[in-house]
């Protein structure tokens, strides 16, 4: 029997990409799954994909940038399940106009409100229950850009992802006494729909050589299946064929 049997996992940004792959992997490991994302129809399809594998998943449409909505969603999960054991904070986006030469205040705010504030809202909402349980796992999906500043991702994304890594460390510093552990996963390029927002979209060949969502799903499951006395603080993971090192037409400073 999997160690995740009886566990409740809430995944934000779960409609596509890393979030959906993480939800699928945790479902396969035995956890009860709650999916959140902004697009109800996409979430419905994600829940159906999990159901097609023989597992169950609930879908709650949610904009993580709305702190009140995040709190209500957490309260609903707790009312229905009585607990939240795992939070995977995977909601994230970037904008086409991202370089200092073109970024707008509204675009900067949009990135930070989802990629950083949204994570904080979800964490803040689940912490009281996890403290009562004296147990809980928070997985924050950061980025290679959360460790290494790159021109490609822009100041808003770089700042939000660096802050997510710092926020994860602060969780482990303060909440380890309550049996709560947190992991920042920092992937290099992953072939997810966010690539459509790149100023220059990578080619199909380049996308095929990137990390794939299922690679991150396996990573999330690895962290979740560690015993409670083990805290995986951070994972830095990249494609072997790492364009950050090798370069590419779309990686040149603009």
Query: 33 with 228: CB under 8 angstroms?
Result: no
* Count of C-beta atoms within a 10 Å radius of residue 78: 18
Joined together, the tokens standing for residue 24 give 């699928």
* Count of C-beta atoms within a 10 Å radius of residue 200: 13
> Residue 155, CB half-sphere, CA atoms under 13 Å: how many?
10
Task: Report all structural domains of the chain as residue ranges with CATH numbers, in order of start.
Answer: 8-251 (3.40.50.720)
> Per-residue pLDDT averaged across 91-106, rounded?
96
What is the chain's percent helix, strand, coil content, to nearest 5? Answer: 50, 15, 35
What pLDDT score does 17 carry?
A: 97
Element (DSSP H or E) covering residue 35: strand 32-37
Whether 139 has a pLDDT exceeding 50, the answer reads: yes
- pLDDT bin (cut points 50, 70, 90) of residue 213 is very high
| Least reliable range by pLDDT among 19-23, 43-47, 154-158, 199-203 | 199-203
What pLDDT score does 53 carry?
A: 94
Active-site amino acid positions? 157
- pLDDT bin (cut points 50, 70, 90) of residue 1 is very low
């Amino acid at each position: 029997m999997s160690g995740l049997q009886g566990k409740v996992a809430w995944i934000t940004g779960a409609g596509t990409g890393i979030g959906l792959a993480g939800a699928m992997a945790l479902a396969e490991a035995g956890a009860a799954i709650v999916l959140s994302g902004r697009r109800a129809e996409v979430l419905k399809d994600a829940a159906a994909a999990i159901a097609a594998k023989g597992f169950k998943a609930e879908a709650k449409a949610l904009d993580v940038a709305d702190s009140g909505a995040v709190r209500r969603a957490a309260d609903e999960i707790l009312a229905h399940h009585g607990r939240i054991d795992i939070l995977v904070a995977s909601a994230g986006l970037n904008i086409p106009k991202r370089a200092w030469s073109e970024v707008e205040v509204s675009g900067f705010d949009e990135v930070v409100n989802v990629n950083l504030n949204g994570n904080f809202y979800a964490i803040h909402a689940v912490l009281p229950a996890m403290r009562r349980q004296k147990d809980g796992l928070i997985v924050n999906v950061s980025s290679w850009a959360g460790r290494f500043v790159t021109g490609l991702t822009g100041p808003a994304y770089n700042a939000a992802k660096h802050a997510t890594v710092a926020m994860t460390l602060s969780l482990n510093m303060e909440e380890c006494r309550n049996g709560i552990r947190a992991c920042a996963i920092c992937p290099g390029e992953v072939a997810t729909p966010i690539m459509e927002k790149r100023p220059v979209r990578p080619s199909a060949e380049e996308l095929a050589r990137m990390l794939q969502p299922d690679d991150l799903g396996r990573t999330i499951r690895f962290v979740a299946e560690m015993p409670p006395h083990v805290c995986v603080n951070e994972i830095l993971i990249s494609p072997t064929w790492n364009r950050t090192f090798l370069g590419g037409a779309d990686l040149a400073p603009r």
